[in-house]
Amino acid sequence: MLQGAARQIYDALAAQGGEARFVGGCVRDALLGRQINDIDIATPLPPGKVIELLTSAGIKNIPTGIEHGTVTAVVDGEPIEVTTLRRDVETFGRQARVAFTDNWQADAARRDLTMNALSCGLDGQVYDYFDGLADLAAGRVRFVGDPRTRMKEDYLRVLRFFRFHANYAAGDPDPAAMTAAKASASQLAHLSGERLRQETLKLLVAARGPETWARMLEAGIVAAYLPEAADQVRLNLVAQREAALQIAPAAVRRLAALLPGKTEALAVGTKLRLSRREQERLSGIAAGPEIMLELEPVAVRRLIYRHGNDLALDLLLVHADNDADLALAAAVTQAWQAPRLPIGGKDLAELGLQPGAAMGRWLALAEAWWIAGDFQADRTACLNWLQAQMAIS
């Protein structure tokens, strides 16, 4: 915030007596000493003036949301959004009709949570209109204004409340927000899958994600939009295993832990508009009970060969019956790379086989023998075994 792209953009906006402040998440996370992922800047300057000042400073700028006052400034490939202060004239769902203003408090009032309504200048002075600093210090996630009203403006805020609680809270959820969330939960089913996906996956890997999901189950929030995801016991088990083995939490893995099987995985993947890769991973994990999950290294290597390292680890963490040998099994999934079968169709053709079903059957037999021998046989050994089997067939 004090150097690089952010400083150049800030200085450009402050030229000729202009004013700017850092706003939102970057202020919140800076105060907590957390990593800052996105920097946003607000200013009372109208969008046209913002573009003029950035252009004069030689900073590339793109009118990404000019009708709502947002200009994206780009320095050395790093984009930072600059938004003119706004006040809501009318809200309808995710969208709103806004008017530009020079009132910082009016702009802050548009933000959902008090900890997200903070702003600060380059000198580090923090502007706090809704007791966000006290909430941040107390680990309290609280809405700006009436929670029911703020959720009605955009019902995705029901999930955002729980996600922020999972990431920043130190105690129980705010009672007023919980009451509003219960009353608003039925509206979640009407939101787009893409928006639900983003909040759900982020929530599941938050610091207190599993604990917060349990509260959402108890309150009927999950049942309102994702009733299939109810296996809290297995979610807790997976989170405990990840922590014990120092394995990074994975959102799709944790989502799969909540589901009873492949049918539900397909339904949830469709509902949340998961990417193709995410859907394949979710379905693969959900199919775990159909796969023999032994924890001996030789069995784990076979699992890796058939399903890949990542899915093998997911399957072990979600479906292993006990933790006794899980650490060793998980270590194998992170250290062992599956080799390729050392023979192919060309080798079988040299043995006199013609391309077709017969060649495919012999190749499959050779592969099964090679796997049973823990992938140790080389090309010569595989060919010798094949010749011997063909001779007695």
Domain termination site, one of 172, 204, 227: 227
Q: Is residue 98 part of a domain?
A: yes
pLDDT at 3 (0 to 100): 83
Domain termination site, one of 105, 138, 171: 138
Statement to judge: residues 51 and 126 lie in one domain: yes
Q: Is residue 319 part of a domain?
A: no
d(CA 164, CA 172): 12
Q: Could you tell me the CATH number of the domain that includes residue 174?
A: 1.10.3090.10
What is the domain range of residue 88? 1-138
3-state helix, strand, coil in the chain (%, to 5): 60, 10, 30
Statement to judge: residues 154 and 131 lie in one domain: no
| 59 φ, ψ (degrees, to nearest 5) | -100, 125
What's the whole-number average pLDDT of the chain? 93
Token pair, residue 353, equals: 């086989």
Statement to judge: residues 77 and 178 lie in one domain: no
Q: Is residue 291 part of a domain?
A: no
Statement to judge: residues 117 and 11 lie in one domain: yes
Task: Answer whether residue 278 shows pLDDT above 60.
Answer: yes
Q: Could you tell me the CATH number of the domain that includes residue 20?
A: 3.30.460.10
Statement to judge: residues 182 and 70 lie in one domain: no
Share of the chain above pLDDT 90, in %: 83
- For residue 200, give the 3-state DSSP assignment: helix
Task: Answer whether residue 266 shows pLDDT above 80.
Answer: yes
pLDDT at 73 (0 to 100): 95
Statement to judge: residues 207 and 88 lie in one domain: no
pLDDT at 67 (0 to 100): 83
Statement to judge: residues 121 and 79 lie in one domain: yes
Kindly state the DSSP code that residue 15 receives in the 8-state scheme. G
Statement to judge: residues 48 and 164 lie in one domain: no
CB 82 within 8 A of CB 72: yes
| Exposure string for 26-41, b = 16+ CB within 10 A, e = fewer | bbbbbbeeeeeeebbb
CB 180 within 8 A of CB 144: no
What average pLDDT does the segment 113-130 reach? Answer: 95
Amino acid at site 361: R
Statement to judge: residues 42 and 83 lie in one domain: yes
Domain termination site, one of 102, 121, 138: 138
Q: Is residue 236 part of a domain?
A: no
Q: State how many domains the chain has.
A: 3
Q: Is residue 308 part of a domain?
A: no
pLDDT at 93 (0 to 100): 55
Task: Answer whether residue 116 shows pLDDT above 70.
Answer: yes
pLDDT at 40 (0 to 100): 94
The angle subtended at Cα 385 by Cα 384 and Cα 386, nearest 5°, is: 90
Q: Is residue 307 part of a domain?
A: no
pLDDT at 15 (0 to 100): 87
Q: Which residue has the higher pLDDT, 17 or 346?
A: 346
Kindly state the DSSP code that residue 354 receives in the 8-state scheme. P
CB 257 within 8 A of CB 229: no
What average pLDDT does the segment 8-30 reach? Answer: 92
What average pLDDT does the segment 313-336 reach? Answer: 91
What average pLDDT does the segment 179-203 reach? Answer: 97
Share of the chain above pLDDT 70, in %: 97
Q: Is residue 295 part of a domain?
A: no
Q: Which residue has the higher pLDDT, 388 or 293?
A: 388
Task: Answer whether residue 91 shows pLDDT above 80.
Answer: no
pLDDT tier, 292 (very low <50, low <70, confident <90, very high otherwise)? low
Residues 6+ apart with CB under 8 A from 125: none
Statement to judge: residues 83 and 213 lie in one domain: no
Statement to judge: residues 189 and 106 lie in one domain: no
- Crossing angle for the helix pair 326-335 and 232-245, to the nearest 10 degrees: 70
Q: Is residue 310 part of a domain?
A: no
What average pLDDT does the segment 79-92 reach? Answer: 82
pLDDT tier, 90 (very low <50, low <70, confident <90, very high otherwise)? low
Task: Answer whether residue 39 shows pLDDT above 70.
Answer: yes
Task: Answer whether residue 94 shows pLDDT above 70.
Answer: no
Q: HEC states along 145-199?
A: CCHHHHHHHCCCHHHHHHHHHHHHCCCCCCHHHHHHHHHHHHHHHHCCHHHHHHH
Statement to judge: residues 62 and 125 lie in one domain: yes
pTM: 0.88
